[in-house]
Chains A and B, each alone.
Chain A
Amino acid sequence: MDGSFLTIDINSFITEPIAHEFMRKAILISILITSVCGLLSSFLTLKGWALMGDAVSHAVMPGVVVAYAIGVPLSVGAFVFGVGSVALIGFIKHKSRIKEDTVIGLVFTGFFALGIVLISKITSDIDLMHILYGTPLGIPLSDVKQTIFISFLVVLLLSIFRKDLMLYCFDPRHAKTIGINVSFLHYLLLTCLSLAAVVGLQAVGIVLVVAMLITPGATAYLLTDKFDELSIISVLSSIISSLIGIYLSYWLDIAPGGSIVLVQTFIFLFAFLFAPRYGIFKVKKLLSSSN
């Protein structure tokens, strides 16, 4: 009897939220956004671009505001400022004796501050809290179309150039030696990063989007020695996180962005402790992976 009571409870736990149209939309859009970020995450982890991801995701903020003010798609503004910030980081690093991590910190906080100032001065239509903390529950339809378009674009680019990007992360000198255009790949990855940042910030906000770009890749990195599996695990853990995260946010009445990222963090901690080969407790593998 207790069992049947529990079944009903779990059933309604799952079905009640998706009875609402806005929840269905939120779940689908979150899954899409986190999958794209998760896929990209597998490259960023290998390239060692976590800090770069942090920088770009913050630097897109003034771009979003300016784009809004002059009426162009937000992604265009985000893209210009995202790539611009990285170009500026490269320029300052090249022309001064300051170390790279300092330059990155300096540039992205500058851009971020500019974004906050612009919001307070130019337009009051953009909700600062919305940009900072995101909300997958309230994305307007025009943004949904844009998000879907950008998401597919990023997935397409990462799929076409998948092996080249892998080689670029692993051994850029070999790539260059055999005539592969390394700077094209550099800017391609950067472009995808900027685009992912702009779709990601809608779901979890600027402050937390970097988590979606780092955490799934790091989790997968602890679980596999194969590149393809790395991407698959990264995307899967992103999807699971957004599902659980949204449900928790519904039932516990907590912020969805924070909820999604927190689930990702817990999955990472689980891998960190119990990953078969690289976890702290090194749970023994039953099957050898070397086939």
Chain B
Amino acid sequence: MKSMEFEKYRIEAENICVDYNGKVALYDATLRLKAGQICGLVGMNGAGKTTFFNALTGFVNLSKGKIRINGETLKTSQKDQAVAYVPQNEGIDADFPVNVWDIVMMGRYGSMNIFRSPRESDIQAVKNAIERVDLVDYSFTPIGDLSGGQRKRTFLARAIAQRASILLLDEPFAGVDIRTEKLISELFLQFKNEGKTILLSTHDMIHVREFCDLVLLINKTVVAYGDTSEVFTPENITSTFGGMSPDFLFGPES
């Protein structure tokens, strides 16, 4: 019965707690997402957004609670290449000697042999992914020579090449140009139609209203969770940000 229930969800995180050396970073957080849903993860710096991503990718161990991905354990879902993580631009070593092609190919590593030697199908997948993010002309450009938006698209292409069913995106709209922003929002719609599930963290309130079916407001734990239209209220946002008004935090446009 239990596993039947799990199968309905792409992501099911149940009362998860994470602490770093006894310092609590996240507690009693629950999140359930189905196929085709886009959920915004909103909170202050240090509210546990990155920790939430870390937990879902298996990068940190849970001190309590459990996570199921497509009804499976994290270990199985990792083997299945189910989750792709698209890092923040700041989290990338831009001086690393790799080009766009190399990075997108990393999305295929999990399904290759031990030497990670690409098969024809891998090469095709990488080509297609690079085409979808409109970087064909930059295929062999070193990562250091790319703009912020192009870098973001490179890592999106890696997630596409991985053929993951779940995408975790850390600040996908931070520091990108208009063209990239437009391309990302088009991709989001395509992903949604393909039945992929997206969890994205963002500081931009407008993007939440624009793209996210659901929103998860966190401040070490879940402050509010549900349909964006119902949950994303000024009161909830204010309490998520420790009593400060969103206007103060995000400027008048929000």
Q: Which of A128-136, A218-226, A237-245 touches B?
A: A218-226
B125-150 CB contact bits vs A (8 Å, 1 = yes)?
A: 00000000000000011101100000
Assign chain A's interface to a size class.
Answer: 20 to 34
B66-79 CB contact bits vs A (8 Å, 1 = yes)?
A: 00000000010011
- The answer to whether B21 touches A226 (Cβ under 8 A) is no
**A167 in contact with B109 given A176-B59, A178-B162, A291-B140 (CB within 8 Å):** yes
Bound together, the chains give a CA A180 to CA B99 distance in angstroms of: 21
- The answer to whether A170 touches B109 (Cβ under 8 A) is no
Bound together, the chains give a CA A229 to CA B99 distance in angstroms of: 13
**A226 in contact with B110 given A179-B81, A290-B141 (CB within 8 Å):** no
Taking the closest CB of chain A, its distance from the CB of B101, in whole angstroms, is 11
Bound together, the chains give a CA A177 to CA B106 distance in angstroms of: 11
- The answer to whether B97 touches A177 (Cβ under 8 A) is no
Judge if B87 is at the interface, Cβ distance under 8 Å.
yes
The number of A-B residue pairs with CB atoms under 8 Å apart is 76
**A179 in contact with B79 given A221-B97, A225-B142 (CB within 8 Å):** yes
| CB neighbours of A178 from chain B (8 A) | 78, 81, 107, 109-110, 162
- The answer to whether A177 touches B85 (Cβ under 8 A) is yes
- The answer to whether A176 touches B81 (Cβ under 8 A) is no
Judge if A24 is at the interface, Cβ distance under 8 Å.
no
| CB neighbours of A177 from chain B (8 A) | 57-59, 78, 83-85
- The answer to whether A164 touches B158 (Cβ under 8 A) is no
Residue of A nearest to B110 (CB): A178
The number of chain B residues with a CB under 8 A from chain A is: 34
| CB neighbours of B92 from chain A (8 A) | 171
| CB neighbours of B59 from chain A (8 A) | 173, 176-177
Taking the closest CB of chain B, its distance from the CB of A197, in whole angstroms, is 25
Judge if B119 is at the interface, Cβ distance under 8 Å.
no
| CB neighbours of B99 from chain A (8 A) | 225-226
| CB neighbours of A169 from chain B (8 A) | 96
| CB neighbours of A175 from chain B (8 A) | 109
Taking the closest CB of chain A, its distance from the CB of B238, in whole angstroms, is 32
- The answer to whether A164 touches B109 (Cβ under 8 A) is yes
- The answer to whether A173 touches B57 (Cβ under 8 A) is yes
For chain A, residues 148 to 174, give those with C-beta under 8 angstroms from any C-beta of chain B: 160-164, 166-167, 169-171, 173-174
Bound together, the chains give a CA A171 to CA B53 distance in angstroms of: 15
| CB neighbours of B114 from chain A (8 A) | 160-161
Q: Which of A176, A178, A229, A230 has the most CB of B within 10 A?
A: A178
| CB neighbours of B110 from chain A (8 A) | 178-180
Judge if B248 is at the interface, Cβ distance under 8 Å.
no
Residue of A nearest to B168 (CB): A177
Residue of B nearest to A172 (CB): B59
Judge if A46 is at the interface, Cβ distance under 8 Å.
yes
Bound together, the chains give a CA A161 to CA B142 distance in angstroms of: 22
Taking the closest CB of chain B, its distance from the CB of A170, in whole angstroms, is 5
- The answer to whether B97 touches A227 (Cβ under 8 A) is yes
Bound together, the chains give a CA A260 to CA B93 distance in angstroms of: 31
Taking the closest CB of chain B, its distance from the CB of A213, in whole angstroms, is 18
Q: Which of B109, B110, B140, B145 has the most CB of A within 10 A?
A: B109
Sorted nearest first, the 6 A-B pairs with minimum C-beta distance are A178-B110, A179-B78, A225-B142, A163-B116, A177-B57, A179-B79
12 additional contacts (CB under 8 A) given A221-B97, A291-B140:
A163-B116, A166-B98, A167-B109, A170-B93, A171-B87, A171-B92, A173-B59, A173-B87, A175-B109, A177-B85, A178-B78, A178-B109
A-B contact pairs, 6 of them (CB 8 A): A177-B58, A177-B85, A179-B79, A180-B109, A225-B97, A227-B97
